Structure 1
Amino acid sequence: MTQSLMDRALVEEATKKSGLIWVQADGPARALWHVWHEGAACLVGDGPGEQPLTGLGLADGASVAVTVRSKDKGGRLVTWPAHVTELAPGSEAWEAAVAELKAKRLNAPDAERVTERWARECRVLRLEPAGALAELPDGRLSAAPLPTPATTRRPIPAALPKLLLRGRRKRR
């Protein structure tokens, strides 16, 4: 088997199994959920309740770098260059990609009408591998998280300390 076929198989298998990919064009890389469909990673975003794609340099015809992590260990497996194509709503390619995306979309507020909303308000992108794999860099690539209005910190419930102490008493 030639190296390019091996590389293509690595890209496909790693990207299929990973829940997130890191996409980088102009600025820092951003983690995005995707599905692997017909030889490319497909994304949906930029609409209400969907992942933000604005500001990433994901314009039609752009080139980006996609990094895939290991699902079990979380380490980088492969970085591959991709060509971005924005799929036109209602086209055959859009319908096929959206069918796959809809099947994998978790917790959609309007699950039965999500494709209609995506056609009206969102962008569906196809990231197709283009070129040789990038060498994985030595060292860490950690960076500060991007600013976001999302938060998970909330006050703890008043009963929680009692519940935790009760669990310790039972163990003794």
Structure 2
Amino acid sequence: MSAGVLEEAIKKAAIAWVSVGDGPAYGLWCMPVENSLAVVSGPGEQFAPGLAQAERAVMRLRGDHGGLIVQADAVVSRVLPGSPEWDEIAPQLATKRLNASGTADDLVTRWVETGCALVRLTPADDSAIGSPDLPAESAAAPPRDTPARVETRRPFRLHRVRKR
């Protein structure tokens, strides 16, 4: 697979499907930074179990048509608050955060206070698998159990509805 496809997918990425170990893949909003992706997770932010402590993860990126075009192993490196890298990436990532209350500086301050993890996903060398080599079957998983799913009763109808 061409490294150019991976680079272009990273440049255009707004969401990436990231899985840690044998766990399920989670759709995470992200921001391209050079040849890697920056992702924030933690309290009050997106749910990415194990990503902050992981050394490696698998990231799946989509193309312009919305389908999977590349999958790659990624080296996970945590960006620590106060570092020059944090001072460069965190404010940019905060401006990309949709529906955030307050300014970007307030959001960055909240990330530090609540212990959110800012990680950088950098593709490992020669680990990318492109469209021709991806499996043909769907990678869709059945829905996970959640307490949010409840049985609902049928809607009330005043008059009988005829079937056609």
TM-score, normalised via structure 2 length: 0.77
User: Shift in Å at residue 95 of structure 1?
Assistant: 1.4
Q: 2:15 aligns with which of 20, 26, 31?
A: 20
- Residue identity opposite 1:39 in structure 2: N
Alignment of 1:1-80 (within 5 A): 6-7=2-3, 9-26=4-21, 27-48=23-44, 50-54=45-49, 57-60=50-53, 62-71=55-64, 73-80=65-72
Indicate the residue corresponding to 1:107 in structure 2.
99
Match of 2:143 in 1: 145
Letter in 1 for 2:31: V
Separation of aligned partners in 2, 1:32 and 1:124: 12
Provide TM-score, normalisation by structure 1: 0.74
Matched, 1:126 2:120: yes
Counterparts of 1:89 and 1:104, CA distance in 2 = 18
Please show how residues 153-168 of structure 1 align to structure 2 within 5 Å. none
Aligned residues: 143
- Would you say the 8 A contact 1:23–1:29 is kept in 2? yes
After TM superposition, give the deviation of residue 148 of structure 1 in Å: 5.3
How many percent of aligned residue pairs carry the same amino acid? 35
| 1:149 Cα deviation after fit | 6.4
Distance in 1 between residues matched to 2:109 and 2:148, nearest whole Å: 26
Unaligned runs of 5+ in 2: 150-164
Q: CA deviation at 1:61?
A: 5.4
1:58–1:64 contact (8 Å) kept in structure 2: yes
Q: State the 1:150 CA deviation.
A: 6.5
Please, which of 86, 90, 96 is the counterpart of residue 94 of structure 1?
86
TM-aligned CA deviation for residue 102 of structure 1: 1.4
Question: Per the alignment, do residues 59 and 124 of structure 1 end up closer, same or farther by CA in structure 2, a change over 3 Å counting?
Answer: closer
One of 109, 117, 130 as aligned partner of 2:110: 117
* CA deviation string 1:19-68 (max 9, x = no partner): 210001221111000000122100011122x10122xx324451111100
The CA RMSD over aligned residues, in Å, is 2.2
Q: Distance in 2 between matches of 1:143 and 1:60?
A: 24
Residues 144 and 128 of structure 1: CA distance in aligned 2, closer, same or farther (over 3 Å): same
Going from structure 1 to structure 2, the CA distance change for 1:105 and 1:142 (only over 3 Å counts) comes to same
Higher helix proportion, which one? 1
* Cα deviation 1:123-163 (Å, max 9, x = unaligned): 10000111221341121111123455678xxxxxxxxxxxx
CA distance in 2: counterparts of 1:59 and 1:36, whole angstroms: 18
